[in-house]
A = this chain, B = another copy of it.
Amino acid sequence: MIGKSINELEIGNWAEFTKTISESDVYTFAGITGDLNPAHIDKEYAKQTIFKERIAHGILLAGFISTVIGTKLPGPGTIYMGQDLKFLAPVLFGDTVKARVEIIEIDKVKNRISLKTTCTKQDGTMVLTGTALVLPPRMEKT
C-alpha cells in the first residue's frame, strides 16, 4: 500500500483514471460541498446558459486528478503540495472523462515532482489542464 518513491520515478511516467460522469456524481458532489450553483442542479436554469445543459463541477474533475496521484502515481503516501487548474470546456452528464497525470520534473534533492495533469472527454476535447506538485512517499516499501 505504498506508492513509488522518488528513485522509482522517471520523467514521462504516467497513469490514468476514467469515469463516465453521472447525474448522481454531480448531485452528490453538490451535496457534500454545498456548491448548489444552479448550473449543476437546475435543468431549467441550465437551458438559458451557454451550455444549455447542467454541467459537472470543475473541481469534481480535479478530484479525478487527485485519484490518480493518490492511488496510482506516485500512489499512497504521496503528499499533495499544490495544484493549478485551468477549466477549458464544460462536461455534461454522461460524458466520459479520462484524468491523466504525467511526470514532467523530478527534484531529488527536495524530494519533489511536478506532474502535468489533464482531463479529456470521450471525443478528445481537453476539459481541464494544469500542473501538480507532490512529495512522493519516503517510506520504505514493505
* Contact between chains at B32 and A28 (CB < 8 Å): yes
Which residues of B sit under 8 angstroms from A17, Cβ to Cβ? 34, 36
The distance in angstroms between the C-alpha atoms of A65 and B77, with both chains bound, is: 23
Bound CA span A76–B36, Å: 9
**By the criterion CB–CB under 8 Å, are A122 and B44 in contact?**
yes
For A58, what are the chain B residues with a Cβ–Cβ distance below 8 Å? 66, 80, 83
- Quick one: which of A24-52 are within 8 Å of B by CB? 24-25, 27-45, 48-49
Within 8 A of B (CB), among A51-90: 54, 57-60, 62-67, 70-71, 75-78, 80-87
Q: Enumerate 26 A-B pairs (CB-CB under 8 Å) in ascending A order.
A: A1-B18, A1-B42, A19-B42, A22-B27, A23-B24, A24-B24, A25-B27, A27-B32, A29-B32, A29-B63, A33-B63, A33-B67, A35-B63, A35-B70, A37-B66, A39-B70, A40-B70, A43-B96, A43-B122, A57-B63, A57-B70, A58-B80, A62-B62, A82-B84, A84-B85, A85-B85
Given A43-B96, A58-B80, list of 8 further CB < 8 A pairs?
A: A17-B36, A24-B27, A31-B31, A34-B71, A35-B66, A44-B122, A58-B66, A62-B62
Question: Residues on A close to B: CB < 8 A?
Answer: 1, 16-20, 22-25, 27-45, 48-49, 54, 57-60, 62-67, 70-71, 75-78, 80-87, 94, 96, 122, 139
